[in-house]
Chains A and B, each alone.
Chain A
């Protein structure tokens, strides 16, 4: 019915989250019909992103430069790190424009049943960053799920003894709610009223 190029396009589109063969066929048709205004610009954007976007070796964010724009920005407070589970959470906090420090992406949560342990997360790198003498505060912004809380507890233990203040997003976040789904106002308020869970050394 269609040539191999179109079949291949459909097959690949079908691997995108939320798309299956049927919706992939629709998307392919949509692109092919809008060759100039959508398809070619999309191809260009994808090629550019694929060749330039990489994982930031400092924080784990995705960007076209390494360190990423946030890590490289001298106006962002280097003495404050906000720890999130996923890049999507980092982007959600950035959208709220409520935070002027830097980030650290763990890359998931501890889950024995899913076989995800501390070595599978970017925890050792976080401990290294936290050990920087200039570091003042680590803000844990893992989700309010049981896994998120367990992971936060684990990170707190691993940071114990370092001269940094460790804080957690304020309660009031809906339990089971994920950061990515919170509106900007709620996020900003949670950041504002974070509370200390440990303060070592000369921290506040």
Chain B
């Protein structure tokens, strides 16, 4: 029944000089995860380069690693999505992933997958285990290791809706403040419950009061953490990192404005009052007119002071990378623990100077980065500083 039992750490570690201050994945075992029936990979705490043709299974591998962060992974998948499917569409098996990470000398095994009942059936929930013992909440993962990612899906981040930017920012905030994931989840829970009550017109006022109190407390905590993180990231990205563009970051939102002018407790009261006053309108629109779920992260290309959305695709990508690198720098400086970075198809869009700067920065941070691409040559600058794997038809072989 214990399909996620920790894997023995019996391999002799002979990595090319890992200098990892932060958490690093030292072993990954996948079972029936997307195209992988079974995969065992030992990156041994160094950065890893995965190259291979389209459809080989590179993003799937990074997706598995993204389950180290609270949430639904870098594809925002539903629980059953990663189950390995046969060509006829039937499920070959329920997925699970066991990831051994080293943090400050210790090794911890994180196991995740469907929660399986005594009869071997999924009960529709995802379980996360740390060394075999279930975590009471997925968000406890955030305290263990920070994980950030950039994927081709995020190319439209500045152009598309604010929800994507909030999710991106919230992942960065979790690196600074592990409890943020829990605050966001609690806020969203109260928001959903209140919307339901308003829609059914069934809730008594006292029940709505209770939910709005939760929205006010958790919502202001969310907004305050985002504000603090954006201020830090703004400072760090303005300085600019080598040839990467410097960015200016701002938080746009009502609660955020209040917090600039009044103490957090006053902002809570104000939000509580605004929600109570907005019940009729919110019942009609099915949401809530005010709250941190309406905030937005606004990014400017600092040099020319134009909004990111007006920059070229390449510049937007470079801006995102600037922010992610600034975040990693802040974490490395503060706690000596840079995040694990999953950089999917990022390198192909960088010119030679930026490519070299990215590799140097990763090494200087002591971060474990996972980089993918189709062209091996682009990663020449990482030889001796990373492990290279060839991904082909769902098999991964060291080079």
Contact = CB atoms under 8 A, between A and B. Distances in A.
B377 interface: no
Categorize the interface residue count of chain B.
20 to 34
Contacts of B185: 146
Interface stretch (A14-22, A38-46, A56-64, A65-73): A14-22
A176 B206 CA distance: 24
Interface in A127-162: 146-147, 149-151, 153-154, 157-158
B209 A20 contact: no
Q: Pick from B137, B194, B210 the residue with the most CB of A within 10 Å.
A: B210
A117 interface: yes
Contacts of A22: 118-119
A200 to B, nearest CB: 17
B117 A150 contact: no
Contact of B118 (A19, A147, A174): A19
A22 to B, nearest CB: 6
A203 interface: no
Categorize the interface residue count of chain A.
20 to 34
A21 B118 CA distance: 9
A153 B214 contact: yes
A106 B326 CA distance: 49
Interface in B183-238: 185-186, 189-190, 192-194, 196-197, 200, 202-204, 206-207, 209-211, 213-214, 218
Contacts of B190: 146, 150
Interface stretch (A77-85, A90-98, A107-115, A163-171): A107-115
A153 B139 CA distance: 24
Given A20-B119, A176-B182, A150 B211 contact: yes
Contacts of B203: 112, 117
A37 interface: no
Contacts of A19: 118
Given A20-B119, A22-B118, A112-B200, A118 B207 contact: yes
Contacts of A176: 136-137, 139, 182
A52 interface: no
Nearest to B202: A117
Nearest to A153: B210
A186 interface: no
B202 A111 contact: no
A112 B213 contact: no
Contacts of A50: none
Given A22-B119, A146-B218, A154-B206, 19 more contacts: A20-B118, A21-B119, A22-B118, A112-B194, A112-B196, A113-B192, A113-B196, A117-B202, A117-B207, A118-B204, A118-B206, A146-B186, A150-B190, A151-B210, A153-B209, A175-B137, A175-B182, A177-B136, A181-B136
Interface of A: 18-23, 110-113, 117-118, 146-147, 149-151, 153-154, 157-158, 174-178, 181
**3 shortest A-B CB distances, which residue pairs?**
A20-B119, A153-B210, A112-B196
Interface of B: 117-119, 121, 136-137, 139, 182, 185-186, 189-190, 192-194, 196-197, 200, 202-204, 206-207, 209-211, 213-214, 218
